[in-house]
């Protein structure tokens, strides 16, 4: 199939999934909905169609612009006020991910690069792109992050309800 046609189909399916999850006000619903819809579509068809070679680069640029646009100078002031929780949570989460990656690599479950990128917190898009660029297993990295996000989205409302009572 033509790469432009397959990309258009994937974008249409993803947009439909994004619209559905966004309509139900699911946190990160657009991203999750697009992912789930395309995954289900591919599972249903039992096929994978190619997309244009530079599509990943275009998406990286768009994500970079989105992150850049979301920056506001007040964030520097805010960071100054929360530097201890930001630093400590970052060190704990990255450290725990690194330790898990070591275990997975030493036991032969995963190669070290894939394990580290998969167990690193947040930034799914950036880490999947990094996996692609470092010849790590991007499918495994995406799977780690997809299920982590899915778990958080499912459990966060319950946790919030429990905390607020």
pLDDT in tens, the chain (165 residues): 899 999 999 999 999 999 999 998 877 788 888 988 998 999 999 988 998 888 888 988 998 898 899 999 999 999 999 999 999 999 999 999 999 999 999 999 999 999 999 999 978 888 998 999 999 999 999 999 988 988 887 788 788 888 886
Q: Where in the chain are the domains?
A: 1-53, 54-165
DSSP the chain: --HHHHHHHHHHHHHHHHHHHHHTT-TTHHHHHHHHHHHHHHHHHT------TTHHHHHHHHHHHHHHHH--THHHHHHHHSHHHHHHHHHHHHHHHHHHHHHHHHTTSS-HHHHHHHHS-S-HHHHHHHHHHTT--HHHHHHHHHHHHHHHHHHHHHHHHHHH-
Taking the complete model, does pTM exceed 0.95, yes or no? no
């Amino acid at each position: 199939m033509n790469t432009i046609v397959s990309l258009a189909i994937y974008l249409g399916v993803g947009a439909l999934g994004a619209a559905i999850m966004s309509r139900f006000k699911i946190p990160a619903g657009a991203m999750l909905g697009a992912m789930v819809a395309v995954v289900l579509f591919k599972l249903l068809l039992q096929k994978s169609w190619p997309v244009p070679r530079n599509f990943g680069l275009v998406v990286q640029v768009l994500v970079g612009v989105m992150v850049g646009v979301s920056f506001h100078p007040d964030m520097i002031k805010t960071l100054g006020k929360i530097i201890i929780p930001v630093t400590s949570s970052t060190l704990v989460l990255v450290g725990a991910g690194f330790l898990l990656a070591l275990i997975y690599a030493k036991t032969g479950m995963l190669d070290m690069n894939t394990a580290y990128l998969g167990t690193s917190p947040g930034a799914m898009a950036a880490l999947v792109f990094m996996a692609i660029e470092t010849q790590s297993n991007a499918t495994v990295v995406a799977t780690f992050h997809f299920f982590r996000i899915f778990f958080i989205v499912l459990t966060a409302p319950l946790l919030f309800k429990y905390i607020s009572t």
